[in-house]
Amino acid sequence: MNAELTRLYWNVGQRLRTEVLGGADRAKYGDQLIKRVGEQLAQEFGLGFEAKNLRRMLQFAVAFPDTEKVASLMRHLSWTHFLQLLPVKTDVARWFYEQ
């Protein structure tokens, strides 16, 4: 169950990054766009999809862009573990903590 939830959150973050925000770093309107999308998704799917959580999903997809690596790590790490890795600034440091 947790692996599927993690996969869902990564997919949502990836789609936000590539389709909603156009693959570029957040534009000026990015925060407002995420807020609006969050309001719509929260109405339809519940509070787990409000803007605050969408931002985390987006951070997750940016920090872990490789789908194969995420799939491999999901076998050992929960969504909570991934959330703890998001603030780690460098890929090398993140790799260390993944291990």
Residue boundaries of the structural domains of the chain:
2-98
- CA–CA distance, 53 with 10 (Å, rounded to integer): 12
The DSSP result for 10-30, as a single string, is HHHHHHIIIIISTTSSP-TTH
pLDDT tens over the chain, length 99 residues: 688 999 999 999 999 888 777 755 555 667 788 888 899 999 999 989 999 999 999 999 999 999 898 999 998 899 999 999 999 989 899 888 888
On whether the CB atoms of residues 54 and 15 are closer than 8 A, the answer is: no
On whether the CB atoms of residues 53 and 38 are closer than 8 A, the answer is: yes
Taking 3-state DSSP, the helix, strand and coil percentages for the chain, each rounded to the nearest 5, stand at: 75, 0, 25
What long-range pairs does 28-36 form, CB within 8 A, spacing at least 24? 34/58
